[in-house]
A and B are shown apart, each in its own frame.
Chain A
Amino acid sequence: EAGVAQSPRYKIIEKRQSVAFWCNPISGHATLYWYQQILGQGPKLLIQFQNNGVVDDSQLPKDRFSAERLKGVDSTLKIQPAKLEDSAVYLCASSLRDRRFQETQYFGPGTRLLVL
């Protein structure tokens, strides 16, 4: 079974530029998450999708971050304009969520963003 795919793996941009990250979840996984992992910290949830609907975006900085999952499969996370403090690894995860219990979240390799 293929895992969660993310691209690009690395991105370097200058502040105030825009950037987009792509995620393809495990086949059949209805739930998709984006996390931000700043160096030296644990991942922090940015947004959660159930199919193509947003379940939780309470920690997403909506003035500059946006995300979509139009067809309930792939997802794109965008930052516009980027700030220096956005330098981090952006992790995508997916889970089945077709049962009543908390399902395991499986993570992709991440996209490492450096804002100069």
Chain B
Amino acid sequence: AQSVAQPEDQVNVAEGNPLTVKCTYSVSGNPYLFWYVQYPNRGLQFLLKYITGDNLVKGSYGFEAEFNKSQTSFHLKKPSALVSDSALYFCAVSPYGVMYSGGGADGLTFGKGTHLIIQP
């Protein structure tokens, strides 16, 4: 069974500084990894995903994430934080690490989330 750990309940960063939200995973085979963001009273918004290829994945709103297979990590990063980045961030893993022909179960397993607070 796969699992995701987000070790920090909350991350505080000053506006304009770089930010990192940590995520580690456990899955059989090669992972498919995702980051989602959740604003108050709203659903999850997709930020980016790693499937294969370049270890540095670029996503929406200037976010990027670095896949590190040896450390089983997929940390979310942004070079310069904005106050509007303040939200709840979720890392997720899919059970499929290889291409499949479709029809299989691929519900995501999520971490517990990290509150990101950007201070003006």
Asked whether A91 lies within 8 Å of B44 as measured between CB atoms, the reply is yes
CB of A101 within 8 A of CB of B112, answer: no
Given contacts A42-B112, A102-B32, contact A109 B101 (CB under 8 A): no
Q: Answer whether A109 and B42 are a contact pair too, CB < 8 Å, given A48-B107, A55-B103, A100-B101.
A: yes
* Pick from A50, A91, A102: contact of B94, CB under 8 Å: A102
Distance A50 CA – B2 CA, assembled complex (angstroms):
22
| Contact present for A45 and B101 (CB under 8 Å) | no
> A6 to chain B: which residues have CB within 8 Å?
43
Can you list 7 A-B contacts with CB-CB less than 8 angstroms, sorted by A residue number? Answer: A45-B107, A48-B107, A58-B105, A99-B102, A101-B51, A107-B44, A108-B43
Which residues of A line the B interface, CB within 8 A?
A: 4, 6, 33, 35, 40-45, 48, 50, 55-56, 58, 91, 93, 97-102, 104-110, 112
A-B contact count (CB 8 A): 68
Chain A CB within 8 A of B29 CB: no
> What band does the interface of chain B fall in when counting residues whose beta carbon is under 8 Å from A?
20 to 34
Question: With an 8 A cutoff between CB atoms, is B49 at the interface?
Answer: yes
- B106 sits at the interface (CB 8 A): yes
Q: CA of A58 to CA of B1 in the docked complex: distance in angstroms?
A: 13
Q: Which of A42, A50, A55, A104 contacts B110, CB < 8 Å?
A: A42
Check B43 against A42 for contact (C-beta < 8 Å). no
Main secondary structure of the interface of A (DSSP, over half): loop
Say what secondary structure dominates the interface of chain B: loop
Q: Which A residue sits closest to B42, measured CB to CB?
A: A109
Q: Find chain A residues with CB under 8 A from B105 CB.
A: 48, 55-56, 58
Q: Bound state CA distance, A71 and B104, in angstroms? A: 20
**Residues in A neighbouring B103, C-beta threshold 8 A:** 50, 55
In angstroms, how far is the closest chain A Cβ from the Cβ of B47?
A: 10
Q: Which residue of A lies closest to B104 (CB)?
A: A55
Judging by beta carbons under 8 Å apart, are A4 and B107 in contact? no
Q: Which 3 residue pairs are nearest across A and B when measured between Cβ atoms?
A: A42-B110, A45-B107, A56-B105
- Could you say which of B32, B43, B51, B96 contacts A110, with CB atoms under 8 Å apart? B43
Query: Contact string, B22-59, partner A, CB cutoff 8 A, digits 1/0?
Result: 00000000001010100001111110010100000000
